[in-house]
Amino acid sequence: MDTRTDIINGALDYLDEPEVRGEPDSAELLGRSLQSAAFRRYSSALDDLLRRRAWSWAMRYEQFAAHVGPATDREAEFKTLIELPEGLIKVIAVNDDPELRWARRAGEAGSAAGLLGVNADAPVRVRYVLRPDEAHMPADFKLALAAHLAQLVSARASDISGATRQGIAQDARRLYGQAAINDGAEGGAALTRPFGEDESPMLNEAFS
């Protein structure tokens, strides 16, 4: 599995659906509800798996200068605002300080990943998960992603039997578990913090 289409075809194989070629347009998918659903759900399936762990191959550690621009009253409560890069999925830590107060405001679709308000002076160091392209995903993660995508698509498909759904779900858990074990050997870690993905433990809500 080298491309997005390869991964989607891996999901379609679970569903006993014909493969698609390249990047199909809407005309090619017309009347093929499961193929169309697989393409529509791909990004959400990928981001879902990326949020579950601090995947070693998707982690970035970057220093940011202060953002210059208008701020809401809520954002102005923080010492520093920084603009986050496009493709950022989840903030893991800021300045590697678990006591530091911070919050993220998501960006608009197709733009940067939003702003991060931090109760610290700039520059700010942020550890985060970045959405990679398929060429940088390990093979075991791609297999897990294909199974997870098939699971999401099958959950809403009325013509797929319960036994088939159960088998897909079992494969999705097994393949994810294997990818997580392999990643753990490379330094990755599960994300088990009891607070929201856009919040520090010192903050109760992300700003809007």
Lowest mean pLDDT among 11-15, 25-29, 98-102, 132-136: 25-29
Whether 25 has a pLDDT exceeding 80, the answer reads no
pLDDT digits (tens, 9 = 90+) for 111-127: 457 889 999 999 999 99
Q: How far apart are CA 100 and CA 120, in angstroms?
A: 8
Whether 27 has a pLDDT exceeding 60, the answer reads no
Domain boundaries, the chain: 4-54+133-190, 59-130
Q: Is 3 helix (H, G, I), strand (E, B) or coil?
A: coil
Please give the model's pTM, rounded to 2 decimal places. 0.82
Looking from the CA of 23 toward its CB, the CA atoms found within 13 Å total 3
pLDDT digits (tens, 9 = 90+) for 54-103: 999 999 999 999 887 766 666 678 889 998 998 999 899 999 998 999 98
